[in-house]
Amino acid sequence: MPSKTLPPRPRSIAAKKTISIVASLYNEDLVNSLLDSTVHGLRTLIPGITVNIYRVPGAFEIPVAVARLTRRKLKRPEAVLCLGVILRGKTKHADHIGHSVTQSLAQIAITSGIPVIHEVLLLETKAQAKARCL
């Protein structure tokens, strides 16, 4: 039986030097800290990279923006990095949002073939979030 040839490996992010970041405005101080660190890290690791930043109201809206970016005919991102902070309260609402965002981002990555980096953090308290984000 003849062996199957594998499709060509995808190019690395560094090859095209463009990445999109979708970041939540909710818990803005925490997310802005994550965003600043992420952009700095990308520009340090990949000189000349272009970073396109898109802001959405909350974590729940992140997958909507990512889906739209990955469906573009022109200027599709090589990868999308998602940043958000969800704080648990005394209800299950945060768990539902976190689960929905995770499932949606995974599905978008699978169907689009574009890497989607999930950094939408689901944390217990504001103190835990500050320790993780600031």
Q: Which residues are catalytic?
A: 93
Spatial contact of 89 and 126, defined as CB atoms under 8 Å apart: no
DSSP per-residue string spanning 69-123? HHH-SSS--S-EEEEEEEE--SSSHHHHHHHHHHHHHHHHHHHH-S-EEEEEEEE
CB atoms within 10 A of CB 117: 15
DSSP 55: E
**What token pair was written down for 25?**
């405005």
Q: What's the CA gap between 81 and 60, in Å, rounded?
A: 15
